Structure 1
Amino acid sequence: MHTPDHTDVPVAGASYRCPETGAILKTITNPNPGMHTLQEHVIQLPELCPASGNPGPGSFLRIRYRSRSHFLEVFSLDVYVRAFIGHPVVRDVEMLTQVVARDGMRALGHKVKVQGCFVLPTLNQTVRTAVIARPDVPIVRPKRE
């Protein structure tokens, strides 16, 4: 039996459009869904707020999930995160972590854990936020003034 090499041409998976940014988060098919696979993406964050310069160097998001039928596609994940640069609604690091968890869960269709570590040099602080998004838990989008 021949298994196609998904690293050359990924088998198309699903995609999800972030309601806040319009960025598309794609998935690729897991070539071996019967294998228990834990996936972790560690994304070094760019400066997201041009006014404050936050978050600073060393800030990152860690996305964890058990891959069932799909993986998050890394190229679209990079574009997805960069869509938050200077965003007028997703402005705080806590909400960013929640939105990324929600979108990852919706793209994959199952539980996703996201941890954010945000270095805020102008405030002499580091903020760590952890979120678990599950399909069975309703998500209420907060209203911003």
Structure 2
Amino acid sequence: MSDRAHLLRAIANARPDMETDVEHVLHLPELCPMTKNPKPGSTLTLRYRAQAQLLELFSLDAYIDGFVGHPVVRDMEFFVQTVAEDAAHLLGHEVEAVADVQFNRLRQGQRIRAVGRPAPLPPAQP
């Protein structure tokens, strides 16, 4: 888990018995103060099959904002991997994160896909 994972919250799914796919499309802020990347229009999409809990929208925004100028999570690949892993850990099941990123000073974009899975539980003590 990242040092920003505590910012993420979940809410109860009112209909956990109903098959529901959830997709959050987040418009990314400028995460790097030096390069001003990613450029406006870059997005991060989180996808998961709803179970007992759902990601809470306001905390998800605050969590993403927590990475602005982060001293460790600096490249987009690591950022996407971290978000997928933190969300999966919170929800207790697989979460896919896909970023569509445009960069300043480059003639290229990048699409990054990471699948986060919750950490296994430690073995029970006898």
TM-score by length of 1: 0.78
Which residue does 1:98 correspond to in 2? Answer: 81
**Contact preservation (8 Å) 1:23, 1:79:** no
Which residue does 2:92 correspond to in 1? Answer: 109
Shift of 1:21: 3.1
SS at match of 2:26: strand
For 2:48 and 2:83, how far apart are their aligned partners in 1? 13
In the TM superposition, what whole-angstrom CA distance separates every residue of 1:70-113 from its partner, at most 9, and x where no partner exists? 11000000000000000010000000000000001001000100
Match of residue 42, structure 1, among 10, 16, 25: 25
Which residue does 1:56 correspond to in 2? Answer: 39
AA in 2 matched with 1:130: R
Residue correspondence of structure 1 range 25-36 to structure 2 within 5 A: 25-36=8-19
Unaligned stretches of 5+ residues in structure 2: 121-126
The alignment-based identity, stated in percent, is: 44
Structure richer in strand, relative to its length: 1
AA in 1 matched with 2:79: L
Residue correspondence of structure 1 range 55-134 to structure 2 within 5 A: 55-134=38-117
Unaligned stretches of 5+ residues in structure 1: 1-17, 138-145
SS at match of 1:116: strand
**Contact preservation (8 Å) 1:20, 1:89:** no
For 1:50 and 1:127, how far apart are their aligned partners in 2? 19
The number of equivalent residue pairs is 120
Shift of 1:27: 0.3
For 2:103 and 2:76, how far apart are their aligned partners in 1? 10
Q: CA RMSD in A?
A: 1.4
Shift of 1:22: 5.7
Shift of 1:20: 2.7
